[in-house]
């Protein structure tokens, strides 16, 4: 996409981002495969922007960010997780609430596993926690031909249309379709390979043991993720002790049903702001924080299962 936006220069390349500013608790949004920061356009509005600092960025190979120089390395889940921390360090965010959609949700769970001290909570949307093994994706995702597009390096126009329908629903949107066409096709097979072949933590164990508060907010009619799969898992710190489903919504409920989604996000973020009060910024002159630079305030709880 060619929408003008500020960029940050990281070791991995240039990253486009959007920042609402303000002194409230930072909320960092991470998009999915072939998406962009623009998918969160309906969140950058009041009352969220009245109370919180909202930040969204384009992953490498997407939107206004540069393509990865070395796809096999730069598009792995581990690399994308590291870049998310680099974004936080660039903006001098000591701690943030992370909202991850689809691929972004898996990145959020990797942050929970590797950098829990940097999180004031996590929201996973359309991202089922995966266990190791080849059968895990079959339990967590719907199995149909459309899912094979996630491994395809080159999209035809029809492929892009099908991906748009899966991710965003039947109503076309030129901006999000342009983001699909812009995405570096080399990213799809590399990221999928990393996600499905041992390139991630045991995410089922992560959500069952992590001290980071986790909110699950999904569309009840998600065509990609099996929402009932979430009910079978154990959670240590599941927000309100249940998975939240938005009726009539698909894979991107924050886009199709923003009012319902924003109410839930505002409530979760408000709870986390009380639990993790300011300061949220790294002080001037202080080096970016390592994962063990400070403790996390939420103590692990006994795992609970989600309830609808």
Give this prediction's pTM: 0.93
Q: State the pLDDT at residue 299.
A: 41
Are 98 and 119 in contact by the 8 Å Cβ rule? The answer is yes
* Residue among 293, 275, 244 nearest 124 (CA): 244
Domains and CATH numbers, the chain: 16-279 (3.40.50.1820)
The pLDDT value given to residue 306: 63
Residues 6+ apart with CB under 8 A from 262: 42, 43, 45, 47, 48, 254
d(CA 258, CA 268): 15
The DSSP secondary structure of 250-302, one letter per residue, reads: -S-HHHHSHHHHHHHHHHHHHHHHHHSPSP-BPPTTPPPPPTTSS--SPPP--
Structure tokens at 106: 């898996």
**Cα–Cα distance measured from residue 104 to residue 110, given in angstroms and rounded to the nearest whole number:** 10
List per-residue pLDDT tens for the chain, 308 residues long.
Answer: 344 689 999 999 999 999 999 999 999 999 999 999 999 999 999 999 999 999 999 999 999 999 999 999 999 999 999 999 999 999 999 999 999 999 999 999 999 999 999 999 999 999 999 998 778 888 999 988 888 999 999 999 999 999 999 999 887 688 899 999 999 999 999 999 998 887 899 999 999 999 999 999 999 999 999 999 999 999 999 999 999 999 999 999 999 999 999 999 999 999 999 999 999 998 877 766 554 343 333 444 556 666 54
């Amino acid at each position: 996409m060619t929408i003008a936006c500020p960029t940050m220069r990281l070791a991995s390349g240039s990253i486009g981002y959007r920042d609402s500013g303000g002194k409230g608790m930072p909320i960092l949004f991470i998009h999915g495969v072939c998406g962009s920061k623009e998918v969160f356009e309906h969140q950058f509005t009041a009352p969220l922007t009245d109370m919180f600092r909202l930040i969204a960025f384009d992953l490498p190979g997407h939107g206004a960010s540069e393509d990865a120089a070395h796809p096999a390395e730069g598009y792995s889940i581990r690399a994308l997780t590291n870049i998310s921390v680099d974004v936080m360090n660039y903006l001098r965010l000591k701690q943030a609430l992370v909202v991850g959609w689809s691929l972004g949700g898996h990145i959020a769970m990797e942050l929970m596993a590797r950098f829990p001290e940097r999180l004031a909570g996590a929201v996973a949307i359309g991202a089922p926690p995966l266990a190791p093994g080849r059968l895990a994706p079959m339990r967590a995702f719907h199995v149909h031909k459309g899912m094979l597009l996630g491994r395809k390096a080159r999209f035809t126009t029809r492929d892009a249309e099908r991906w748009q329908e899966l991710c965003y629903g039947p109503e076309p949107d030129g901006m999000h379709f342009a983001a699909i066409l812009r995405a570096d096709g080399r990213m799809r097979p590399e990221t999928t390979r990393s996600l499905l072949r041992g390139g991630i933590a045991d995410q089922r164990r992560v959500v069952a043991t992590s001290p980071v508060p986790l909110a699950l907010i999904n569309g009840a009619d998600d065509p990609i993720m099996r929402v009932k799969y979430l009910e079978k898992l154990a959670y240590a710190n599941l927000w309100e002790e249940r998975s939240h489903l938005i009726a009539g919504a698909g894979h991107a409920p924050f886009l199709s049903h923003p009012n319902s989604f924003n109410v839930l996000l505002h409530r979760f973020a408000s709870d986390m702001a009380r639990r993790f009060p300011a300061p949220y910024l790294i002080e001037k002159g202080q080096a970016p924080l390592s994962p063990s630079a400070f403790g996390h305030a939420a103590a692990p709880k006994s795992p609970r299962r989600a309830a609808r």
